[in-house]
Structure 1
Amino acid sequence: MTSFGVPRDAFERRTRWLGGLAVFLMATTPLLGYLAPKQFAAVLSLVGLLAAPGLFRARPPVLPLFALALLVLWSLISLSWTPALPDPAKLKKFGAVESFTAIKLFLQLGLYGSAVVMLGQMSTRSARLAARVMLVSAGLLAVVTCIDGLLHAPIYQAVRKASGDPIRPDLAMVKVSMGTYPLVLLLWPCVRVLQASGIKGRRLLIAALFVLILIGAHVTGADAPVAALLLGGLTWLAVRLTGKPFARALIPIVSALFIFAPIIVLWGVQSGAFTWLHALVPPSWDHRLNIWAFAAERILVHPMRGWGIDASRTFGLAIPLHTHNAPLQIWLELGAFGAAMAAAFFAWILYGVLGWIERDRRDGAMAAAVVVSYLVVGALSFGVWQEWWLALGALAAIACGVAQKTGASPG
């Protein structure tokens, strides 16, 4: 037996390193998700760096990476007009790159991209082992997050106290909720792995994992993961039932959300829909509505070029750090060109999902659900450039590849 002209034994040996990196990545997920989610960026960077030597033999997906490369290039160009430009003299100091988001994006594209491309070259045997570790890790994180959330975070508080850094109970609940974000992305790859397994009661395990994540997100006040779970679940079900038609419909819908985000918000303000929503939603969502309305108005000032990378941080209390909405933040900072590149990237990703559906509808349902879950969280929480959140996107892509290879294997 051969694989693309390479003897299978040699191919398996060649991917042991990649399989080891994938196992390491999945094994660290519970610890990072529960105690240090921001360190996902460091771990993905390390994995990408260690996997990079094999890039010379790999065939990366050109079109999606090209769109991201253009987006990063435009962010670098926008440094010439952004009001958030750090002092260039800081670049002389070690570690000062942390102040330059555009430079970090360039490095992350290379490192995270390396991790995704190279771990996608794993053999089925390596992927199968990584899949088992992913299942155990996701299950462990879901159980701990749910239990600690239900008990109002005594475990997390005890860990912080033991480390000499005590934390208030309310802040501890917020920290525990962070574990639900990687979980809503890993859920669907785990579902696919369980579907392909011979485990008795796998449907019960799938339901239990879903419920644990849902309860954990709800009791810790993480609204975005709850929304991502529900909309991701509806997407998964729709693709399972209809196949390509629903996935095809997602391409213009997602593209339109990026292209027309400011217009949608401005229409909501002018039509009175935002006024109606202000009277219904809780304070955190009321604050989001104000941020979105302000951001949409600022976008009209520089609609083509944007205000420049990280400009969201310069509007004071009107926009605390970021817009809590990925399309609006990209529009505000990188203008129409940036929004077009983001739309193109996700359109190409969803177009690739169609190919997965053609081979196995279960794979397509998994991938579509992960994309929708990532977009939902991005539309409601976090800054679009936060390195740990971008790292979770890379982790989700790797998890989908692992699950797809496992699902395609016999047994």
Structure 2
Amino acid sequence: MTDAATPFDLKADPTGRLGRSGFAAAAYFALLAPAAVAGGMALAPLQALVGLIVTPLSRDMRRVGLFLLAAAPFIAFAGWAAASYQWSPVPRPEQALKVLGGYVCGVLFVAGLAAGGGKNRALGRAALLSSVIILICLSIVEAGGDLMINRMGTTDTDPGIIERNPGKGVSILVVIIWGAIGALIGGKSTWQRLLWRVLLVCAGLLSLQFNMATNAAGFALGFVGFAFGWMAPRVAPILVAIGLAGWTLVAPWASVFVLSIPGLQDRLPLSWQMRGEIWRYAAARIDERLITGWGLDGARKFGAHTLTVGDMQVQAIPLHPHSFSMHVWLETGLVGASLAAASILAAGIIASRTLGGHRAAAAAAVGAMVAVGAIWNVSYGAWQEWWIAAAFTAAGAAALARR
């Protein structure tokens, strides 16, 4: 099937020659696996560098305009978040630059991979598959080898702390695996049909390791999303985006409503009881500054406050409320939440228009969207650079699955 022009096809090479997008993608994915199993902190600077290298260029102002239109919601959201440091009780201008730079370079990264010609995407797919296989192997070593890789780089002996790094690596695996499956599932050879099944099973089993239930939930929901995208490649990305955007807008009040169900919170595991109390507290603080929020990193103000969970005293908000939606509302208010929802909707529309004619790639995009949304809304903060990079990596992986 020939590729239709899309907002991200600024300079697709019709000759199919290998160029900077293919080689840069190969270099990025070559480094991804070791970076991921070590906790993923290197992903953001790597992606920033590659994003700048693969930036698609064009003299066609119509295509440039389409690209800017597609990128505008993401840049507007990041720009508002960055600007909000000015009224934060914990002003950190360097964090504002990281957030804005992460989103700009992430958009350029995805655009560059999507705009590459056939040979560039083929090289990127091969690099992605190799990276996923290596990441699975390294994660298996960590799971079965007493965290030997991460123990080599630390003097800390607490396994609960050490296993966070490979746990984050599996989070990255759970969101990029769908691009790899999408790249293989349409293959006609026996090895391709076998490999995608093996990779899927391995990723599923690894999602159960390292005491991170959110990885297992993200994988299971990502699998459902992939199947939905396979069945409805043009509609599923938009419907999933509407669902995620809707949750972003109502999360503070919907979370409190669910947690108010009699007896529910008492039946939850301790870690989820702690999340529940953190979300209640965050929702109350959101109501205090509903429109503009407390400003970037304003959640750190509440770290000195404590909450009672069972017999324990815990920080009211330990750095962030462990939910993208709650974090966005808390620090950037209604304005930021609306821009975040617009960005999610834009992602769904772009995926539908760009990948809707390619069933496997659309399925990969939907699987990635669901997995990222599920994990981000119950685990990580909105401004964690490595996880922002992981989300854009998942989008780039889905783009590479387009044949």
- Give the TM bin, normalised by the shorter chain: 0.7 to 0.9
Aligned pairs for 1:154-233 within 5 A = 154-157=148-151, 159-160=152-153, 165=155, 167-233=157-223
Deviations 1:106-158 (A, max 9, x none): 2223322222222322111121122112112101211221242134323432x
Equivalent residue for 2:379? 381
Matched, 1:350 2:348: yes
Question: 2:325–2:337: 8 Å Cα contact kept in structure 1?
Answer: yes
In the alignment, the residues of structure 1 paired with residue 12 and residue 143 of structure 2 have an alpha-carbon distance, to the nearest angstrom, of 47
How far off is 1:282 after superposition? 1.6
How far off is 1:84 after superposition? 1.2
Question: 1:64–1:344: 8 Å Cα contact kept in structure 2?
Answer: no
Amino acid corresponding to residue 304 of structure 1 in structure 2: I
Matched, 1:112 2:99: no
Equivalent residue for 1:83? 89
In the alignment, the residues of structure 2 paired with residue 9 and residue 323 of structure 1 have an alpha-carbon distance, to the nearest angstrom, of 44
Match of 1:142 among 136, 143, 146: 136
In the alignment, the residues of structure 1 paired with residue 192 and residue 266 of structure 2 have an alpha-carbon distance, to the nearest angstrom, of 44
Structure 1 residues 83 and 249, CA gap change in structure 2 (3 angstroms): same
Bigger mean CA deviation after superposition, 103-112 or 383-392: 103-112
Structure 1 residues 56 and 28, CA gap change in structure 2 (3 angstroms): farther
Matched, 1:310 2:297: yes
Equivalent residue for 1:287? 274
Amino acid corresponding to residue 290 of structure 1 in structure 2: E
Structure 1 residues 77 and 10, CA gap change in structure 2 (3 angstroms): closer
Over the matched positions of the two proteins, sequence identity in percent amounts to 23
Matched, 1:65 2:71: yes
Question: 1:54–1:118: 8 Å Cα contact kept in structure 2?
Answer: no
In the alignment, the residues of structure 2 paired with residue 382 and residue 131 of structure 1 have an alpha-carbon distance, to the nearest angstrom, of 28
In the alignment, the residues of structure 1 paired with residue 221 and residue 14 of structure 2 have an alpha-carbon distance, to the nearest angstrom, of 42
Equivalent residue for 1:48? 51
Equivalent residue for 1:18? 21
> Would you say how many aligned residue pairs link Structure 1 and Structure 2?
384
In the alignment, the residues of structure 1 paired with residue 358 and residue 228 of structure 2 have an alpha-carbon distance, to the nearest angstrom, of 14
Match of 1:128 among 122, 131, 149: 122
How far off is 1:283 after superposition? 1.6
Question: 1:55–1:114: 8 Å Cα contact kept in structure 2?
Answer: no
How far off is 1:54 after superposition? 3.6
Question: 1:378–1:384: 8 Å Cα contact kept in structure 2?
Answer: yes
How far off is 1:246 after superposition? 4.2
Comparing both structures, which one devotes a greater share of its residues to helix? 1
Question: 2:207–2:219: 8 Å Cα contact kept in structure 1?
Answer: no
Q: What SS does the aligned partner of 1:115 have? A: helix
Amino acid corresponding to residue 76 of structure 2 in structure 1: L
How far off is 1:332 after superposition? 0.8
Amino acid corresponding to residue 374 of structure 1 in structure 2: V
Question: 1:254–1:346: 8 Å Cα contact kept in structure 2?
Answer: yes
Question: 1:147–1:216: 8 Å Cα contact kept in structure 2?
Answer: no
Question: 1:127–1:402: 8 Å Cα contact kept in structure 2?
Answer: yes
Matched, 1:38 2:41: yes
Matched, 1:29 2:27: no
Question: 1:330–1:339: 8 Å Cα contact kept in structure 2?
Answer: yes
Equivalent residue for 1:89? none
Q: What SS does the aligned partner of 1:309 have? A: coil
Amino acid corresponding to residue 208 of structure 1 in structure 2: V
- Where does structure 1 lack aligned partners over 5 or more consecutive residues? 87-98
In the alignment, the residues of structure 2 paired with residue 111 and residue 326 of structure 1 have an alpha-carbon distance, to the nearest angstrom, of 20
Deviations 1:286-306 (A, max 9, x none): 111111111111111111111
Structure 1 residues 224 and 61, CA gap change in structure 2 (3 angstroms): farther
Let me know the Cα RMSD of the aligned residues: 2.7
Task: Give TM-score scaled by structure 1 length.
Answer: 0.85
In the alignment, the residues of structure 1 paired with residue 279 and residue 205 of structure 2 have an alpha-carbon distance, to the nearest angstrom, of 28
